[in-house]
Structure 1
């Protein structure tokens, strides 16, 4: 019996026992669809959470003065002269002071203040660390220069304070440096997307930090009147692919301006995206692995059904052997049946996995990301299961003695 005859015989056998064939495939369908669904939702959720954070650190680096060094003096703070020198060099796309500070946020008549994180911003900083303005606008050039008492806040904070993000525009909130400082009233001119919004959705919206931005001149007028300098700068390379060389250029410029440039640390911008992304990747692999266990359960189901099939078709096997079928012919037929069943189950599993992924993603607000690698591996595993778990029943069928098989009723 040649390959085509074995294939034809296997297909006919599957057609004759449609219900049994469907039940055999069901475990594989469930297993592969589970793997693809969980993997796509996991990757989509991971990208939603870390996508904006990754963009925020790409091609950017910090210059920070080490205030703990015994040689540190206040004259070594990073000042406007250094910023101007870095900009004038033409080697950097943007250069800006980097200041993040906590403000006490007073809500209504409640004497207790909540803490809110603010980035002190400049036009360069807005280009380096972009946010998506949802309502209103960003700061105007004249507002940066004159130090207007205006701010932008994130949409989750705006919704919590005013019931609706759009309603926050034009409203004023009282902020103070620290919990017990003097309150100053600030007008909200824009609402931007909270960088942790997707994480907020996945965690039920609880304990998500509040974020805001305030112009540098406004901050200095009210809270940093001395203006002695900055402890940190953030820079963006013109070509992100040349980040290492750009960092060396910054080091060289500092060395030409300052006699003790070793006081300055130059490091790639790290906003936590990398480590958080690694955690989510590990979690996604674990969840996908757990879903993949159902594939092996389905494989055991294939072996079980095929063993039952061997028992039911013992007399048929005896007749075929009596008219000249070899052990190889019987082995190949049963193996083909097993591979065809798992192969069809694999294809249906992929289809249902994509459908379920899209459906669940739509419901929970996550765009699933389907991996060709995952789909290909799932299909290969499916076919492998057909071979692996089909070998035992196939060998059992092939080794049947034709005389004993013909006696079976």
Structure 2
């Protein structure tokens, strides 16, 4: 018996028991659709959460002086003159002082922490924010010392009811809880990229952010012109690692001291969180894949029942010349057709469910052709693995005993 005859015979047998064939496939359909759906939602959520964080840090790094080093002196901090020397090398796209400080604002009758970042024209290019309402600082505002600020949409919503209502209003900020609050006019509201990040980790307190121009900060809080760290953007993001080493060499030549400055890629934190989500996504997909194993056991069970029901048929086929190999091959083909068709239907169902669930949870699903192909191969592999035992049992039946069965 050739392949085509075996295939046609298998199809005819499956058509003869359509309801049972569908119920047998159901376990595979559920298993494959679960894997496709969970994988797509997991990858979509992972990209949605870490994509912006990684994008903002790609090709950028911070440089800071190690104050615990025995060779450290205050003169080795990043003064304006040193920053200008670094810019003059023309080896980097943007360089800016990096100042981050914790300040406070009264929100809903309680003082809450707001993370203040000091902005320069270069810093706004390096660490870009997505403005939802309003605008960025205008060029002259960086030097005017005007009491203006841009804040994140979460803070704007909690204080003013909606981000849009915050524009043109004043927000009261204080350096400490005991210091007097100072009014700052809001000129822009930007997206808080940490909202999805915090929710994914099960947290509720989303960090709040604000930005002042450097002149505003120095006028109100700090008149010093030296900084503990700077942030740098590479001309070619793919060569950030080389630029990090290059920056250390330049600083060593300027100061004459080696190993005093440390560098750190801005994308490191996002990359670490991305690895955590990847592991979690893999685990969830694996758990969903367990249902595939259960579906495979169902296939084997039904195929064993089929062997018992068709014992006389097997005996007749052997009596007219069918070999053990022919019998085994036919039952294997039946098993593969069941799981293969179940895999195709499972992929279709997984695609539909992924889109529906994605809309419900507001996460764009990210489907992978590779995962779909692998799922189909796995489902057909299950047909082979779990179909071998029933096929072998059918092939080994004694034709005389098979013909005597009722």
Structure 1 contact 53–271 (Cα < 8 Å) conserved: no
8 Å Cα contact 1:32/1:295 also seen in 2: yes
The aligned counterpart of 2:136 is 138
Corresponding residue for residue 220 of structure 2: 222
Say if 1:335 and 1:391, in contact at 8 Å, map to a contact too: yes
1:252 CA drift (Å): 3.0
- What is the alpha-carbon distance in structure 1 between the residues aligned to residue 240 and residue 202 of structure 2? 38
Q: Distance in 2 between matches of 1:259 and 1:388?
A: 68
Contact 2:35 2:285 in 1 (8 A): yes
Aligned to 2:312: 315
1:203-218 map, 5 Å: 206-218=204-216
Question: Which residue in 2 is equivalent to 1:126?
Answer: 124
Change in Cα spacing, 1:135 to 1:405, as seen in structure 2 (3 Å) is same
Deviation at 1:251, TM superposition (A): 2.3
Alpha-carbon distance change, 137 to 208 in structure 1, aligned in 2, over 3 angstroms = same
Q: Which moved more, 1:299-308 or 1:365-374?
A: 365-374
Gaps of 5+ in 1: none
| Structure 1 residue 374, shift from structure 2 partner | 1.4
Q: How many angstroms apart in 2 are the aligned matches of 1:230 and 1:270?
A: 22
Indicate the residue corresponding to 1:2 in structure 2: 2
Distance (whole Å) between structure 1 residues aligned to residue 84 and residue 362 of structure 2: 45
User: Which contiguous aligned blocks of 4+ residues in structure 1 show a shift greater than 6 angstroms?
Assistant: none
Matched, 1:48 2:45: no
Q: Which residue does 2:233 correspond to in 1?
A: 236
Q: Among 358, 365, 372, which residue is 2:362 paired with?
A: 365
Shift of the 12–20 alpha-carbon distance from structure 1 to 2, 3 Å rule, reads: same
RMSD between superposed Cα atoms in Å:
1.5
After TM superposition, list the pairs within 5 Å mapping 1:13-24 onto structure 2.
13-24=13-24
Residues 106, 173 of structure 1: 8 Å contact kept: no
Cα distance, 1:8 vs structure 2 = 0.6
How far 1:260 sits from its partner (Å)?
A: 2.3
Name the SS of the counterpart of 2:183 in structure 1.
Answer: strand
CA distance in 1, matches of 2:152, 2:360: 24
- How far apart, in 1, do the equivalents of 2:86 and 2:159 lie? 40
Query: By how many angstroms is 1:268 displaced?
Result: 2.2
C-alpha separation in 2, matches of 1:93 and 1:234: 11
Instruction: Look up the match of 2:74.
Output: 74
| TM-score for both structures, normalised by structure 1 | 0.96
Q: Distance in 1 between matches of 2:52 and 2:145?
A: 29
In the TM superposition, 1:70-109 aligns within 5 A as 70-107=70-107
Query: Partner of 2:170 in structure 1?
Result: 172
Q: Is the 8 A contact 2:58 2:267 kept in 1?
A: no
**Can you list the C-alpha shifts for 1:331-390, whole angstroms capped at 9, x where unaligned?**
011000000010000001111111111111111111111122211211111011000000
Alpha-carbon separation, structure 2, partners of 1:71 and 1:203? 40
- Cα distance in 1 for residues equivalent to 2:87 and 2:336: 66
Correspondence 1:274 to 2:268: no
What is residue 163 of structure 1 aligned with on the other side? Answer: 161
1:107–1:173 Cα contact (<8 Å) kept: no
Aligned to 1:346: 343
- Corresponding residue for residue 292 of structure 1: 289
1:265 Cα deviation from its structure 2 partner: 1.5
Three-state SS of the structure 1 residue aligned to 2:331 is helix
In the alignment, the residues of structure 1 paired with residue 391 and residue 169 of structure 2 have an alpha-carbon distance, to the nearest angstrom, of 76
Which one is further off, 234-243 or 297-306? 234-243
Alignment length (residue pairs)? 406
Q: Distance in 1 between matches of 2:202 and 2:187?
A: 28
Q: Which residue of 2 aligns with 1:185?
A: 183
Is the Cα–Cα contact under 8 Å of residues 103 and 175 in structure 1 kept in the other structure?
A: yes
Deviation at 1:248, TM superposition (A): 3.1
- C-alpha distance in structure 1 between counterparts of 2:116 and 2:307, whole Å: 72
